[in-house]
Amino acid sequence: MRPKPLSGFPEFLPAGRIVEQRVLDVVRATFELHGFAPVETRALEPLEQLARKGEIDKEIYVVKRLHAAEDDVAELGLHFDLTVPFARYVMEHAGHLQFPFRRYQMQKVWRGERPQEGRYREFLQADIDIVGQGTLAAHHDVEIPLVALDVFARLHEELGLPTATIHVNNRKLSEGFYRGLGIEEPSAVLQRVDKYDKIGPDAVRELLTGELGLTDGQAGACVALAGISASDESFVDEVRALGVAHPLLDEGLAELAQLVRVARSERLVADLKIARGLDYYTGTVYETFLDGSEHLGSVASGGRYDSLASDGKVTFPGVGYSFGITRILAPLIAKGRLAADRSVPSVVLVAVDNEDSREASIGVANVLRARGIACEVAPKADKFGKQIRYAERRGIPFVWFGSSSVKDIRTGEQVDADPQLWEPPTADLRPGIVFG
């Protein structure tokens, strides 16, 4: 009886996991090039910690020992993101950390949501955050999306993944604009504007007048603001042309203009309809779309929060970005658009002539391994044709015969070779990643 997969818990075959690992390697290497230090937190947090934000409590997985003892009072749950555990980590270890603290964290998270396309119950996130003690300079809001651009550029250049475009807005800009229009509840407006891409500008306008009682002029201005986007500072003039004034608007415009100016990239767009729903951001907000796969929705997002954590005395402001690794990869791998060209790390299969000479084959393999060439020894002293098929089925490019001969089974070319000296082509050292 074959076990059935659990809906919402994606699992890859080895070739898919090879792709995921390579992606994680590139992401991690980029984070480290930008000076982010690694942190890993436990998967379980006290339930009260997880439920504090209210709205998402129905998605939490509660964890209990099967035979919990009576004195086992701690109620625990699986973390549903990496921000809540990181905030707890910062509070717990603040005395041992250097601020501003730059960390990355790549872990699975769990949400008990009803599974649907692009939504998972277990998925992998890769987060970066910069956290200050008391204060955190605004230039970090500029820095974070530059790291994200670098991540996506390297994933594109090194592994051929699709390019991505980052859309940026600033809560101060939107809120200042709404307040300048005389609107009292900017967050209610933001929630409606958040639906702009799904329902279109006219429907948003109707919600703003119908549900919130905005005047036609107010609603029109809000929708006009949401329609502005540019990858240079020209958006500032467009906003000014709407004739609204407020100090918070000025602050937001200045921050966003600075970001666009420093980034100087067509892949980073000021997009004034970006709202990030109910999340607790207080300044810059980011969303990211894969070029050509915009239908997947935002695959990486983040923003600035004035208070990541607070112990009553000290507040820890932060700015961060979360990459939805599973969200990016699972659909591409499942559809076969993203694949590894072999299912094992081995570059070489060392053939075995007969079982008595297996030790000699192990010797050849160990010489190759000592030189960084991954290999395996044939499991059975079959006819060579069968051993070659063993390699073929796994995509292993080379088969080694005896002590001094190696065959590229893709071309059939066989050459004399010394295991102490032979080098495979660099491109063959690791499985290749193919995107199509």
Nearer to its own copies, 105 or 288 (CB): 105
- Which residue lies nearer to its own copies by CB, 1 or 421? 1
Residue 33 φ then ψ, to 5°: -60, -30
All residues at 6 or more sequence positions from 377 whose CB lies less than 8 Å from its CB, including other chains: 349, 350, 352, 358, 361, 362, 365
Subset of residues 102 to 161 that bind its own copies, contact rule: CB under 8 A: 102-103, 108, 110, 112, 122, 137, 139-140, 143, 146, 150
Nearer to its own copies, 175 or 376 (CB): 376
Rounded distance, CA 290 to CA 7, Å? 25
Q: Output the smallest distance, CB 303 to its own copies, in A.
A: 19
Stretch that binds its own copies, among 1-9, 198-206, 328-336, 402-410 (CB under 8 A): 1-9
The dihedral through the CA atoms of 183, 187, 193, 195 has a sign that is negative
Q: How far is the CB of 36 from its own copies (least distance, A)?
A: 7
* Spatial separation of the C-alpha atoms in residues 226 and 222, rounded to whole Å: 6
Specify the residue, 27 or 225, whose C-beta has the smaller distance to its own copies: 27
> Amino acid identity of 50?
L
Nearer to its own copies, 51 or 212 (CB): 51
Q: Are 31 and 148 in contact (CB under 8 A)?
A: no
Of 283-312, binders to its own copies (CB under 8 A) are 311-312
* Cα dihedral 139, 140, 141, 147 in deg (nearest 10): 120
Q: Choose the binding region for its own copies from 15-23, 179-187, 219-227, 285-293 (rule: CB under 8 A).
A: 15-23
Regarding 343 and contact with its own copies (CB under 8 A), the answer is yes
Give yes or no for a contact between 358 and 49, defined as CB atoms under 8 angstroms apart.
no
CA distances from 257 to 120, 132, 261, 303, 325 (A): 36, 23, 6, 16, 29
Using alpha carbons only, how large is the chain's radius of gyration in Å?
27
In the structure encoding, which two tokens stand for residue 117, read together? 């396309």
Give 210 or 379: the residue with its C-beta nearer to its own copies: 379
Among 82, 84, 100, 319, binds its own copies (CB under 8 A): 100
**Which of positions 310-329 make contact with its own copies (CB under 8 A)?**
311-312
Footprint of its own copies on residues 411-430 (CB under 8 A)?
A: none
Residues 233-252 close enough to bind its own copies by CB under 8 A = none
Q: Other C-beta atoms within 10 Å of 430: how many?
A: 15
Among 374, 409, 417, 434, binds its own copies (CB under 8 A): 374
**Site residues for its own copies, window 25-84 (CB under 8 A)?**
32-44, 46-47, 49, 51, 57-68, 74, 76-78
Residue 394 interacting with its own copies (CB under 8 A): yes
